[in-house]
Amino acid sequence: MAGTITEKILREHIIEGEAKAGCEVALKIDNTLTQDATGTMAYLQFEAIGIDRVKTQFSVSFVDHNTLQTDFKNADDHRFLESIAKRYGLYFSKPGNGICHQVFLERFAIPGNTLIGSDSHTPTAGGIGCFAMGAGGLDVACAMAGAPFRIKYPKIVGIHLTGRLKPWVSAKDVILEVLRLVDVKGNVGKVFEYFGEGVKTLSVPDRATITNMGTETGCTTSIFPSDEITYIFLKAQGREKDFRPLEADHDAVYDEIIEINLSQIEPMVALPHSPGSVKRVREVGPVKVDQVAIGSCTNSSLRDLKIVAKILDNKTIADNLHVFISPGSRQVVEHLIEDGDYIKLVRAGVRIMENACGACIGMGCAPASGSVSVRTFNRNFEGRSGTKDAKVYLVSPETAAATAIKGVLTDPRDLGDYPSITLPDKFIINDNMIVKPLSEEEAKKVEIVRGPNIKPLPSFEPISDTLEGNVLIKVGDNITTDHIMPAGAKILPLRSNIPEISKYVFEAVDPKFYEKARENNGGFIIGGENYGQGSSREHAALAPKYLGIKAVIVKSFARIHLANLINFGIVPLTFKNPSDYENISEGDRIVVEIGDLKGACVLKNITKGITIELEHTLSPLDAEILKAGGKLPWIKKQFQ
């Protein structure tokens, strides 16, 4: 049967449901990944399910987010995660081995497999032909226990690439062009699948940059073919046995097609404060810059850092700024050292940071007050850098390097001839920082090590048919999970302590939210379009649930956050008539009749004396999970 790459993979993995756009399907999950900021909670949830060993083909636990150790909290979490991996049969990538998405691409990703990860940029593995999706930690825990992962069968958008990128233009500019075309909302329930002769001009690291930042469009995932380019990459990693050819058939039918001629793309930049606010660098002009940051899971591959080293060779960064680089993996660093590129970066004045996510989530390297930071990262949400009034621009490694030299936002084509680089035929392979799973017999002897900051999971009760309370906050469009549950060096270490981290819910939007939630015994959140965009962090649902949030009522939801709300027993509802958003104010007393959640719901605004119709996209199973109080009590019953 003819088909797209997406259709071929999903046919092999659908356990239940109809392969029709919008219908719920249950997928068998081959692999999972977690990182430490979300992983601690995911493994507490896995323990609560009561399964003795992970049931996936393999699962990997990474430490790459909370590596800044200002006290015992992060170190305790790392120790907990390593003992969990040994006890339950996971691979464990130690701190310093690298960023989860880069390391997974190098050492684990398999074409044609399904992968979910407790990080929204898990689709990075789509660059190698893996059907990879971000998910909340509880969904990952359930998949490790052997449960299927449920999604709405997607619409498949074919992105037809023709031509070839010109000098000084790279893969980051491609995905910025995609974001310019489709923006950050309106793509829920879609898969972006790349095809066409232009695909053959892109390496696996190029493709991974595109699929990584495809997350910012709000789509389910992005995917490239597995072809001869994929084989070359896997062979260089000593993993040619994992190769599988996987391409769309010539007569494959897409629900929608977007045409992009690579040869017409120019250096692009996303302006503060949205990855979708994209213009050509030449349009924006020479903005004075205070900081340049290169790395993150989007642009920290060997290809990216070698080109930066070439550009900075025998040059010194501008006096008015400072530059830092976060390499993607230890493998990348070893190659930079071996090839002499590392010293080029150091001599140019670059600060080389740990192989970790840090700066991308405000864990170090926060910009100065009111400053401009040009970054190769994937998000520039307000305050995400660790500095609320900083202005963050997103660019390619080439544009970042040119900006570092000139001191102002610079089109890299102004530098003259484009330097050439070569990638190794065989990468340095050293997996000594990856702890392999123990045998079942050895694993049962392992004791789980818990620090004092790791608190037990809160318990949640079944939901009643009628919800009543006050509107605690009313927010606008494109509220991100960073707005709801901030990251940063102060807050991230509390991820395994729900009572403490809940004190920071909506801190950047309304510093009094925690107090209002406690005084009112919970209540409701009202929002606009694309509520919950961004990170997969389930704490943006779990902490509000702990504070007594009963329902979130908005114009539309981002996919992962919607799933997380269901998982933790917060009812996600939308206005049948979006203009009714104007008929509710903060402080209003409301009653919401949800019944069995099998049909429409009604909101009665007691304060204003009006009735508002609400709707939802819940499947019967979603309704059952919600009414049970969330996915954890529901899944425990299934396994019992």
Residues known to be catalytic: 64-65, 119, 379, 535, 537
Structure tokens belonging to residue 570:
């917060």
- Residues sharing a CB contact under 8 Å with residue 250, sequence separation 6 or more, in sequence order: none
How far is 13 from 610, CA to CA, in rounded Å?
Answer: 47
How far is 410 from 408, CA to CA, in rounded Å?
Answer: 6
State residue 269 phi and psi, 5-degree precision: -145, 135
The residue to which tokens 């030299």 are assigned? 405
> For residues 236 and 425, is the Cβ–Cβ distance under 8 A?
yes
> For residues 204 and 102, is the Cβ–Cβ distance under 8 A?
no
If one counts every other C-beta atom within 10 angstroms of the C-beta of residue 435, the result is 17
The residue to which tokens 């793509």 are assigned? 187
Structure tokens belonging to residue 276:
């979708």
- Residues sharing a CB contact under 8 Å with residue 302, sequence separation 6 or more, in sequence order: 205, 331, 332, 335, 336, 423, 424, 427
Structure tokens belonging to residue 81:
């995660």
SS3 88: helix
Helix (H) / strand (E) element for 171: namely: helix 171-182
> For residues 408 and 289, is the Cβ–Cβ distance under 8 A?
yes
Burial of 366 (0-12, 13-18, 19+ CB in 10 A): buried
Q: Which of 14, 38, 13 is nearest to 140 (CA)?
A: 38
Beta-strand relationship, 549-554 and 24-27: unpaired
